[in-house]
């Protein structure tokens, strides 16, 4: 199944260790470009996160952001910065002695003092495990979205390939009629000029003209490219670059076909081909 490179996923969990959330955004890119943002507490796990993403994705510009908010569990405790609290009490007693004040500093006032209480250290090992599991969940969601979009892209490409094939069949059927029409015009022109042509030379010129206007090789190559596109769509691997190359080849053959056309209907058919190829090329830019 082919994948698009455009998708979004967001997942979060809340536990006694805190609240974690991953947000993944991906858009089309020539290569795999990962932009990873994690809180300072998770810096040591950044390589693990990046490796996990690289193992599952092949192309696209991915922005992955982890957010963390410390939680309050049942066994949470207030950690007191004892050196600072002692220094604060001593300082208060000195001020009381200088001012002859009898008002003592209350314990709750000491706890309110900046820096006296410390945040309890989170269990980084468990947090890291939860963050990795959550990333896997978000990544699975992102890939599922890319596959759904990829399925729609495959249907779009199949439809355009069928339309191109119909045009090619039409062009091939019309070629004998075009050559015959050219011969009739030449003979008619010679009759109007009232000259006796050299039949051998005339036949040679007609053969050369027919060869110059022959597009059977271009039509065969265009059909072969369509067959290759259908085969590539069935591959279980990233196909974006291969498809992009095939679009270039289709466009090149369509240009050659247009240059050899001396018939209004064939010229219009070549233009229609180029429009369909360009429509496919634009969509293929989103395929992984």
The per-residue pLDDT for range 10-64, each reduced to its tens digit, is 999 997 778 999 999 999 999 999 999 999 889 999 999 999 999 999 999 999 9
Say which CATH architecture domain 149-284 belongs to: Up-down Bundle (1.20)
Report the alpha-carbon distance of residue 231 to residue 161 in Å, rounded: 12
Long-range CB contacts (< 8 A, 24+ apart) of 142-145? 142/7, 142/8, 142/9, 142/24, 142/26, 143/3, 143/7, 143/56, 143/57, 145/4, 145/7, 145/8, 145/9
Average pLDDT, the chain: 85
Domain ranges of the chain: 7-73+124-147, 79-118, 149-284
Quick check: helix, strand or coil at residue 74?
A: coil
- Look up residue 33 and give its DSSP letter: E
pLDDT grade for 267, boundaries at 50, 70 and 90: confident
Rounded (10°) angle between helices 124-193 and 216-233? 160
The pTM is what?
0.71
Find, among 76, 77, 78, the residue nearest to 16 by Cα.
76
CATH class of 7-73+124-147: alpha beta
Q: What is the reported pLDDT for 202?
A: 63
Find, among 29, 86, 63, 69, the residue nearest to 238 by Cα.
29
Tokens of 256: 């050659």
Q: Evaluate if residue 119 carries a pLDDT over 80.
A: no
Do 7-73+124-147 and 149-284 fold alike per CATH?
A: no
């Amino acid at each position: 199944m082919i994948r698009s490179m455009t998708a979004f996923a967001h997942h979060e969990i809340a536990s006694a260790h805190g609240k974690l959330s991953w947000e993944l955004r991906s858009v089309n890119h020539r290569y795999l470009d990962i932009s990873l943002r994690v809180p300072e507490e998770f810096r040591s796990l950044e390589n693990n996160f990046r490796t996990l993403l690289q193992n599952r994705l092949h192309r696209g510009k991915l922005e992955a952001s982890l957010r963390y908010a410390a939680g309050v569990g049942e066994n949470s405790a207030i950690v007191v910065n004892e050196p600072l609290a002692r220094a604060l009490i001593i300082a208060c007693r000195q001020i009381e002695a200088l001012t002859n004040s009898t008002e003592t500093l209350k314990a709750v006032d000491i706890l309110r003092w900046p820096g006296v209480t410390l945040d309890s250290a989170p269990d980084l090992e468990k947090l890291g495990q939860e963050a990795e599991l959550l990333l896997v969940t978000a990544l699975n969601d992102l890939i599922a979205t890319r596959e759904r979009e990829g399925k729609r892209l495959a249907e779009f490409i199949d439809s355009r390939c069928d339309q191109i094939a119909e045009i090619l069949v039409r062009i091939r059927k019309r070629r004998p009629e075009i050559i015959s029409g050219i011969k009739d015009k030449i003979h008619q022109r010679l009759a109007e000029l009232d000259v006796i042509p050299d039949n051998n030379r005339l036949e040679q010129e007609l053969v050369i003209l027919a060869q110059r206007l022959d597009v059977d090789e271009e039509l065969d190559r265009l059909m072969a490219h369509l067959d290759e596109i259908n085969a590539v769509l069935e591959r279980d691997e990233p196909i974006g670059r291969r498809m992009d190359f095939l679009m270039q080849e289709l466009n090149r053959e369509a240009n050659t076909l247009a240059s050899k056309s001396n018939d209004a209907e064939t010229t219009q058919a070549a233009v229609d081909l180029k429009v369909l190829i360009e429509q496919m090329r634009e969509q293929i830019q989103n395929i992984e």
